[in-house]
Structure 1
Amino acid sequence: MKLAIIGMGKVGATIAFNIVMKGLCDQLMLANRNIEKAEGDAMDLQHSLAFCQHSMQITSGAIVDVEDSDIVVISASVPTSKKLSSRMALGAANVALFKEIIPGIASNNPDAVLLVVSNPVDALTYLTTKLSGFPTSKVIGLGTLIDSARFRVMLSESEKIHPDDLRAYVLGEHGSNQFPVFSQAVVGSESINDNLLHRELFNKVKEAGFTVYHHKGYTNFAIANAACEVIRTVAYDEHRTMPLCTYFDEWQGVMDNCFSIPVVVGRKGIIRHLHPTLNAIERYDLQSNALRIKDNISQLCDMDS
């Protein structure tokens, strides 16, 4: 299993560290516009192998050096401002960056599953799908997997139950246009009610990423663990269910859009879409949020430029 990471900022470096610690591949390639940064990370991780149970080959280079990978993680991004208040603020610059790098990545890694981590992830997943020419199943955005994890953690603190025992999805945009699916949220086969307390927790979930960001200047630990969850599932063909960003022609009556929905993931990427029964509130949330997400994508991803 050959895995490559494009973009060795704080998120990319933390993903790489987790991959090495968890032994998720045999070959790990780190690529960055600043090649010395990638070389430094590779050397540092090589020095960690003596403490790991699973050895691997760790190399580094430029983005054009990434070839024949099974999985390519794309965490490349323009620098962020300390005053960042919306992921969409990164949109125009990251769209330009992706237009520059995605065609080459796709050409050099024709059999890879592409995992998009950079923000705004929904628009960039759409753009990556279009620019790469890959099947939609082979381009995955990390999307609301991280929001769903945050939601489970906050609910677990309220319910006094381990977060891994809760099933509660946040769907839609990894951003303000997301919504919880309370009608399908359960713990031990008991429903998790849509009440005022749980709605307040969800509102905190929507702001959680920026809360962390404004405290420490970036987010990296949880997002890296979420990425490794997807990587492991693809690498080991685990057929696990996750809320992830994908382009689709139609889902639950929404046409031609790209955001997080429940999917089954395995070695070939997204194996199938799941179609939970939504209640009236959730159907309204889906339709209204989908319109705003599509508008954001249309504004950012002008494929003719």
Structure 2
Amino acid sequence: MEFSEETLRKWLSKYKFRDLTIEELKSVHELYPNIRFTMSTYTFKDGSQKDLLNFSGTVPVKYQGNSYNIPVCLWILDSYPFTPPICFLKPTANMGVSIGKHVDARGRIYLPYLQHWSHPRSTIIGLTEEMIAKFEEELPLYSLSSTDAARQLELLSYIAKITEGENNIQSKGNGKKDDGRFNKVTVIGAGDLGLACALAISAKDVADKVIVLDCSEGTAKGGTMDLEIFALPKIEVSRDFSATANSKLVVLTINSLGNAQSYLDVVQSNVELFRGIIPSIAHYSQNSVLLVASQPVEIMTYVSWKMSGFPRSRVIGIGCNLDSARFQYIVSNIMKAQTKGKVNWIIGEQGENKVTACSGSNSAGEYQSEDLTDDNADHLLANRALEVLKGKGQRSWSVGLSVADLADSILNDKRKVHSISTMVKINFGLLQGL
């Protein structure tokens, strides 16, 4: 379709930031008039669909003295410009995909610009400029011979399904069909917390494969390098989002390591990190559960829910699971207290805003709660236990053990009650959703 602002306004009527999107598309059209815009239905793996704007065209690339026009296709999500486009090569029948640092076997394009996308600094024109620069370093397509071209047709039909939104790709390297029995976990972030989570999940033996996605720039450092050196059998380190495909559980551990001075600075930095990560996770593992360990947990869980488009039941934060487990241990084993069949909990926001509560059951589906303050003896016991709990810091390895505990319940359907962070409607008297 030729560029028509009136048509775009009609197509984008359900986009959250329609005017911002249209203004940017005007600039793109002026610079690249060969681009064609269409509105198509994007079908996700779980069967859900969205009508999304996509456009295709070519970007000019010079490689080793020759000029090439590289065909690409970009899908614009309905939360654009606060989430990056989904980018693919669109090779013709006589073109083969050159797998490299920025392109996978199915033609999906990965760039640092996408990973660090942040409005208003990031734009489609800026993305295109980086795309050209990276393609000039490593040409993403090559010409096929006539015999190779015939074999390429099957691959192209496969890629076509991806660019139409049908993501049925298996994770590279796992070698198994995802038939519901292969428990694959991805840990996003290769810092101390990410490595602690990966090692704890592996040690607890609840996953068949653990992918550690290293989002840092530069070469592998520290722990990730050591993981590659000593090659633990169930753990794989990758920088390629396609390696995370079909994960049952995705654990988010990334935190901004900038020079942020305030709470709001930390929140904004982490939100910007998530903008470049969550859409890719949602694309490759559309049936996964997101488990958020990044700080502040409650806010980042909400951000993950909004950016992923997942049902709220599949986006949870680690909440007070660690504090609750410690609290129960302190009451039962250090204070040797008899709680008359009650289970003690820490609930609420991480930090100083936590409160105590208790229930008469520790299994899902049989849950009655009451405030410990209703009973003076229980209230005194809770205060004593909280004083002991305050001296226990939440180090990476201890949070990792708590994440592994949650992973076990999620992957193996243990029907165990945990104190987590999740979205709930106001419903007084129910402790399960806190």
Q: TM (normalized to structure 1)?
A: 0.66
Structure 2 segments unaligned to the other structure (5+ residues) = 1-182, 363-374
2:285 pairs with 104, 109, 127, which one? 109
Query: Which residue of structure 1 lines up, in the alignment, with residue 249 of structure 2?
Result: 71
Residues 324 and 346, structure 2, Cα contact 8 Å, conserved in 1: yes
Query: Which residue of structure 2 lines up, in the alignment, with residue 291 of structure 1?
Result: none
Paired-residue identity, % = 27
Query: Which residue of structure 1 lines up, in the alignment, with residue 204 of structure 2?
Result: 22
Residues 169 and 185, structure 1, Cα contact 8 Å, conserved in 2: no
Distance 1:21 1:183, change over 3 A: closer
Alignment partners' CA distance in 2, 1:60 and 1:198: 43
Alignment RMSD (CA, Å): 3.4
Query: Which residue of structure 2 lines up, in the alignment, with residue 212 of structure 1?
Result: 393
Query: Which residue of structure 1 lines up, in the alignment, with residue 237 of structure 2?
Result: 60
| 1:129 corresponds to 2:305 | yes
Distance 1:17 1:193, change over 3 A: same
Distance 1:162 1:74, change over 3 A: farther
Q: Bigger shift: 142-151 or 122-131?
A: 142-151
Query: Which residue of structure 2 lines up, in the alignment, with residue 141 of structure 1?
Result: 317
SS at match of 2:422: strand
Residues 13 and 41, structure 1, Cα contact 8 Å, conserved in 2: no
Distance 1:80 1:179, change over 3 A: farther
Query: Which residue of structure 1 lines up, in the alignment, with residue 193 of structure 2?
Result: 11
How far residue 162 of structure 1 moved from its aligned partner, in angstroms, is 10
Query: Which residue of structure 1 lines up, in the alignment, with residue 220 of structure 2?
Result: 36
SS at match of 1:69: coil
* Residue identity in the other structure for 2:239: A
Q: For residues 104-126 of structure 1, what are the alpha-carbon distances to aligned partners after superposition, in whole Å with 9 as ceiling and x for unaligned?
A: 21122101111001110001111
Say which structure is richer in helix. 1
SS at match of 2:301: helix
SS at match of 2:267: helix
* Residue identity in the other structure for 1:76: I
Structure 1 segments unaligned to the other structure (5+ residues) = 50-55, 214-218, 254-260, 264-272, 275-305
Q: How does 1:235-246 map to 2 (within 5 A)?
A: 235-246=411-422
* Residue identity in the other structure for 2:225: G
Q: Which has the larger radius of gyration?
A: 2
SS at match of 2:351: coil
Alignment partners' CA distance in 2, 1:42 and 1:64: 18
* Residue identity in the other structure for 1:73: V
How far residue 169 of structure 1 moved from its aligned partner, in angstroms, is 0.8
Residues 30 and 42, structure 1, Cα contact 8 Å, conserved in 2: no
- Alignment length, in residue pairs? 235
| 1:91 corresponds to 2:273 | no
How far residue 200 of structure 1 moved from its aligned partner, in angstroms, is 4.3
Alignment partners' CA distance in 2, 1:112 and 1:193: 43
Alignment partners' CA distance in 2, 1:62 and 1:162: 50
| 1:177 corresponds to 2:353 | yes
